[in-house]
């Protein structure tokens, strides 16, 4: 394994930034300090005038996802390679069992697919149905496989949508195991009814998609999931918060002391619903994802959520379908495969629209692109920190570097870019993954299969044990 000395940069962690050199050896950070000397044979990277930040973590991707009758364009190699081109060195993807499918079988399938990953990866596991075997297998996944988060889709009726029985039982099980429940918060019954109503009005084009998923559909589900979590006294993480109603639901709950966390997609921060009114079907359909891009005004509210600390992480929901795949919905918008890309562009878009505008400090940028995800999913400081002992997942960030984002130059195998034509200032000049240089001034050196599966320990299960103890010690339980 190689040694790399990053000289002359400004280290930026979520808590502070300071001038220091960074030395990595055998895939770990071994020194952070001033005037470090390079051991024999080390590669030296000149970081003068640049920042040295923890590798980005994207907590929401779908590589090689079979969905809506097709499979996403990016697999675990091309998707993680694209991520590293943009400074993301770890993804948390999703195992999504079919209803009634054994979740251990689904987990093994996804583990097989991910072996070709070029960067480190981990998995949330979706609970799409419920019986005692699911309850049992959730325990196996936590205790033996390093899974500490379980996803619940409240949308996608007649497919992977959870009913309240599944939500309630699975949230309770998460509590017992010390795992984080997460939700896709859209009321799938409302979507199903609105899709049919809109079709009956003769609307078949992509403009029907946002009409069938208004912000109230997301607000209702976010409030319901938060209320269930509150009654069961379990933390909850809401993925791809896209609108004011959902962000307010989180802020209200947090103001009452409830442990609720929110994730925002780079796309939802800068793209609005005007894209669905584009006359070209392929362009409008390329933006069909759920929750949809929202009317102007929602974006600024999401930025305020990140600034206020009521929203915590940023992600992409990278789930790429090409024009031919999106054309499945040519005559019926509800058949357009839902998903967009972004894994390569996330960090530059958030730096350009966040730090360059003064919305975020560099440390807050690190928090929302890496450290907060590491903390919430219990892999901090192995990930999400430039500190001795952490994995040598590092980005040398050039605040003066510029790039125009385009499908023509992206590394994703998708054929569309929702940030097409956006020129950003602030890009990675070097990405280091597991102590190896994988990006050097635009030259991507991703290696298929190099990525590792990252286990994530459960949160303190003492809490569950203590609660149990309290119940058994309650006066009524004490024998006279």
The string of DSSP letters for 209-251 reads HHHTS-HHHHHHHHHHHHHHHHHHT--EEE-S--SHHHHHHHH
Between 7 and 346, CB nearer to ligand URQ: 346
Q: Tell me how far, at minimum, the Cβ of 239 lies from Zn ion, in Å.
A: 6
Q: Tell me how far, at minimum, the Cβ of 431 lies from ligand URQ, in Å.
A: 25
Q: Please give the structure tokens belonging to residue 60.
A: 């929401």
Q: Quick one: what does residue 213 bind among Zn ion, ligand URQ, none, with the CB cut-off 5 to 8 Å set by partner type?
A: none
Q: Which of residues 240-259 bind Zn ion (CB under 5 A)?
A: none
**Residue corresponding to tokens 């009524």:** 476
Reference 385, options 49, 33, 57, 9; nearest CA is: 57
Q: Quick one: what does residue 338 bind among ligand URQ, Zn ion, none, with the CB cut-off 5 to 8 Å set by partner type?
A: ligand URQ
By CB under 6 A, name the one of 13, 170, 290, 370 that touches ligand URQ: 290
Reference 370, options 153, 130, 87; nearest CA is: 87
Number of residues forming the site for Zn ion (CB under 5 A): 2
Q: Quick one: what does residue 145 bind among Zn ion, ligand URQ, none, with the CB cut-off 5 to 8 Å set by partner type?
A: none
- The interface region with Zn ion, picked from 178-186, 194-202, 256-264, 450-458 by CB under 5 A, is 178-186
**Residue corresponding to tokens 């584009």:** 278
339 binds ligand URQ (CB under 6 A): yes
Q: Which of residues 155-214 bind ligand URQ (CB under 6 A)?
A: 184
From CA 429, how far away is CA 148, in angstroms rounded?
33
Q: Tell me how far, at minimum, the Cβ of 153 lies from ligand URQ, in Å.
A: 7
From CA 223, how far away is CA 421, in angstroms rounded?
36
Task: Give whole-number Cα distances, 188 to 107, 157, 205, 227, 400, in Å.
Answer: 25, 5, 20, 17, 44
Q: Which of residues 304-343 bind Zn ion (CB under 5 A)?
A: 317
Between 50 and 61, CB nearer to ligand URQ: 61
289 binds ligand URQ (CB under 6 A): yes
67 binds ligand URQ (CB under 6 A): yes
Q: 291: cis peptide before it, omega within 30°?
A: yes
By CB under 6 A, name the one of 62, 116, 268, 422 that touches ligand URQ: 62
Helices 132-145 and 164-177 cross at an angle (nearest 10°) of 30
From CA 190, how far away is CA 258, in angstroms rounded?
27
Q: Tell me how far, at minimum, the Cβ of 188 lies from Zn ion, in Å.
A: 11
Reference 432, options 393, 477, 386, 377; nearest CA is: 393
Q: Quick one: what does residue 67 bind among Zn ion, ligand URQ, none, with the CB cut-off 5 to 8 Å set by partner type?
A: ligand URQ
Q: Quick one: what does residue 426 bind among Zn ion, ligand URQ, none, with the CB cut-off 5 to 8 Å set by partner type?
A: none
116 binds Zn ion (CB under 5 A): no
Contact call for residues 275 and 287 (beta carbons, < 8 A): yes
184 binds Zn ion (CB under 5 A): yes
Q: What is the x/- site pattern for ligand URQ, positions 311-330, by CB under 6 A?
A: ------x-x-----------
């Amino acid at each position: 394994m190689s040694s790399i000395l990053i000289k002359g940069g400004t280290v930026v962690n979520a808590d502070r930034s300071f001038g220091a050199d960074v030395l990595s050896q055998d895939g770990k950070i071994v020194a952070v300090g001033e005037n470090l000397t390079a051991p024999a044979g080390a590669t030296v990277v000149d970081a003068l005038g640049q920042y040295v930040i923890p590798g980005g973590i994207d907590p929401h991707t779908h590589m090689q996802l079979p969905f809506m009758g097709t499979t996403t364009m990016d697999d675990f190699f091309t998707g993680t390679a694209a991520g590293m081109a943009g400074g993301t060195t770890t993804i948390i993807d999703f195992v999504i069992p079919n209803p009634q499918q054994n979740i251990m079988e689904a987990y093994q399938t996804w583990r097989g697919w991910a072996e070709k990953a070029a960067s480190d990866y981990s998995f949330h596991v979706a609970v799409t149905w419920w019986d005692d075997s699911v309850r049992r297998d959730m325990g196996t996944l936590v205790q033996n496989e390093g899974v500490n988060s379980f996803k619940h889709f409240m949308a996608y009726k007649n497919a992977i949508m959870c009913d309240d029985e599944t939500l309630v039982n699975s949230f309770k099980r998460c509590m017992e195991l010390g795992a984080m429940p997460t939700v896709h918060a859209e009321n799938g019954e409302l979507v199903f009814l609105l899709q049919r109503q809109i079709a009956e009005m003769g609307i078949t084009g992509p403009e029907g998609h946002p009409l069938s998923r208004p912000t109230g559909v997301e607000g209702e589900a976010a409030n319901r999931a938060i209320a269930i979590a509150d009654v069961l006294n379990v933390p909850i993480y809401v993925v791809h918060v896209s609108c004011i109603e959902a962000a307010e639901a989180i802020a209200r709950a947090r103001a009452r002391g409830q442990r609720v966390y929110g994730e925002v997609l780079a796309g939802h921060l800068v793209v609005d619903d005007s894209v669905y009114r584009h006359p070209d079907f392929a362009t409008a359909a390329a933006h069909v994802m759920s929750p949809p891009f929202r009317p102007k005004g929602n974006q600024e509210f999401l930025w305020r959520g990140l600034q206020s600390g009521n929203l915590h992480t940023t992600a992409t929901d990278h789930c790429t379908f090409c024009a031919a795949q999106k054309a499945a919905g040519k005559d019926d918008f509800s058949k357009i495969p839902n998903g967009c890309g972004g894994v390569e562009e996330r960090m530059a878009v958030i730096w350009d629209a966040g730090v360059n505008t003064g919305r975020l400090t560099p440390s807050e940028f690190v928090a929302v692109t890496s450290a907060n995800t590491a903390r919430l999913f219990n892999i901090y400081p192995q990930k999400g920190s430039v500190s001795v002992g952490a994995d040598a997942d590092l980005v040398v960030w050039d605040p003066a570097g510029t790039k125009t984002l385009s499908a023509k130059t992206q590394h994703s195998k998708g054929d569309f870019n929702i940030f097409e034509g956006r020129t950003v200032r602030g890009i990675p000049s070097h990405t280091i993954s597991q102590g190896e240089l994988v990006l050097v001034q635009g030259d991507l050196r991703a290696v298929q299969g190099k990525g590792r599966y990252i286990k994530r320990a459960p949160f303190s299960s003492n809490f569950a044990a203590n609660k149990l103890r309290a119940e058994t010690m309650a006066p009524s339980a004490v024998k006279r």
